[in-house]
Amino acid sequence: MLIDEMIVTPIALIDPPLLNAAGLHAPYALRVIVELHTDNGLYGLGEVPGGQDVAEALTAVRSVVIGSDPFHYNVLHRAIGAKVVQADGPRGDFPWDLRIVTLVRSAVEVACLDLIGKQTERPLVDLLGGKFRDSVPFSAYLFYKYEGAGGALGFGVDKNANGWSAARQAAALDPAGVVAQTKAMVDAFGFQSIKLKGGVFSPDQEVAAMFALRDAFGADVPLRLDPNALWSVETAIKAGRQLDGVLEYYEDPVRGQQAMADVRRAVKLPLATNMCTTSFADMPGSLTLGSEDIILSDHHAWGGVMASVHLAKMCEVFGRGLSMHSNSHAGISLAAMVHLAAAVPNLTYACDTHYPWQSEDVIVGGQIQIKDGAVKVPDKPGLGVELDRAELARLHKQYVDSGLTRRDDAVEMKKVDPTWAFKPTRW
């Protein structure tokens, strides 16, 4: 089995006006879909965040990928590093990761594993060593948001919507709004743990939101707060002490391993990260400084599913807990996340997913079901999802028509407040 074609398609998925440390989500979240076709008539799928730059980097490795044996994905992993000339830059200051080589590697690796699964007629989880769970729990992922279904200015409100569909459009700008949003999301999907994206309003307001969630859902429901590194060490210690006993974990309150270690020493809460320890090269610093208790894996940002399995082993050896990070995504990514999470015994926290915020998908049958807060591990070969080519074409057109080429949450935020500017530390 050899790869004889690689198709790279950027798409845009409608995304509501969610607030975060970097501004406001644009009306569309950008993803890139990769198809690898083989000379025996199979195709494998990968999905990563990104627009034009990621699509171009993926297209640049076509000559390396085409002609390769998908079983040799480790060899491809190396070859991609050599081919994508620009070395991985830093992760960057934003809530999301800007490194491109890891995304390229991840998309190609997942598509290869999908092919291997189809060729051997085994689900991806079996290629990773077998499943430790039949379904994978996810947490409710709450955002402060403006009213509307997409963008600061566009996509008005559908007055006939109800349930989660209505809540997905409603504004949530204070603790009561966050509780209402959470109730609607939990009712619709059955989530049993809750994460609030912070770094938006004052720390006092965000701490109050966590207490409001605790009061509304009870002390047994695990809660997390993620200010995306926007707080100073002093602010984070103060808030962390207030939230002692309230949070399951405290995600990236401050920026960088040293600051995280300083906060960790001063509070009792476990600290988690998808911002300060985000690659194998960061592991020595993490261990020397003691920057976090829990690492959020992400197969897109760590360079693939196998890399994430290796990360899980390192976490086990070096005493780090393991959770999973997400960005706005479609069903190909969700399927990969579920196979990975099922194959890793020490992934003991409910994973993040933005999926409830999405309403479109590129897979046959539409969105994957989340029931009782969990996704059943697919048992079909490979990822267990098929590409809906009509939807792919429609969502690609949506990408072209959107005029968006890369994620920039400041652009959308400035439509609301022209004076707004990103600050690496705001409070």
Under a CB-based contact definition with an 8 Å cutoff, are residues 333 and 34 in contact?
no
Q: Could you tell me how many residues of this chain bind Mg ion (CB under 5 A)?
A: 3
Task: Write the binding mask 209 to 238 for Mg ion: x where contact by CB under 5 A, - elsewhere.
Answer: -----------------x------------
Q: Which of 274, 277, 308, 327 binds Mg ion (CB under 5 A)?
A: 274
CA 9 from chain center: how many Å? 19
Q: Could you tell me how many residues of this chain bind ligand GKR (CB under 6 A)?
A: 12
Residue 327 touches which of Mg ion, ligand GKR, none (CB < 5 to 8 A by kind)? Answer: ligand GKR
Task: By CB under 5 A, tell whether 412 contacts Mg ion.
Answer: no
Three-class secondary structure of residue 217 per DSSP: helix
Shorter beta-carbon distance to Mg ion: residue 29 or 149: 29
| Minimum distance, C-beta of residue 66 to ligand GKR, in the bound complex (Å) | 32
Residue 169 is classified by DSSP as: T
Q: Phi/psi of residue 140, each to 5°?
A: -65, 130
Give the other-Cβ count within 10 Å of 410's Cβ.
Answer: 13
Task: By CB under 5 A, tell whether 109 contacts Mg ion.
Answer: no
**Binders of ligand GKR in range 188-217 (CB under 6 A):** 197
Residue 257 touches which of ligand GKR, Mg ion, none (CB < 5 to 8 A by kind)? Answer: none
**Binders of Mg ion in range 348-377 (CB under 5 A):** none
**Binders of ligand GKR in range 60-119 (CB under 6 A):** 95-96
Piece of the chain touching ligand GKR by CB under 6 A; list 203-211, 287-295, 323-331, 378-386: 323-331
| Minimum distance, C-beta of residue 22 to Mg ion, in the bound complex (Å) | 12
Task: By CB under 6 A, tell whether 274 contacts ligand GKR.
Answer: yes
Tokens 């859902």, located at residue: 217
**DSSP string across 377-408:** PP-SSBTS--B-HHHHHHHHHHHHHH---S--
> b or e along 20-41 (b: 16 or more beta carbons within 10 Å of the residue's beta carbon)?
bbbbbbbbbbbbbbbbbbbeee
Distance, CA of 210 to CA of 227 (rounded, Å) = 12
Q: Phi/psi of residue 378, each to 5°?
A: -60, 145
Is 325 noted as a catalytic residue in this protein? yes
Residue closest to 325 by CA, chosen among 251, 240, 217: 251
Is 197 noted as a catalytic residue in this protein? yes
| Minimum distance, C-beta of residue 18 to ligand GKR, in the bound complex (Å) | 6
- What are the residues binding Mg ion (CB under 5 A)? 226, 251, 274
Residues of this chain that interact with ligand GKR (CB under 6 A) are 18, 20, 95-96, 197, 226, 228, 274, 325, 327-328, 354
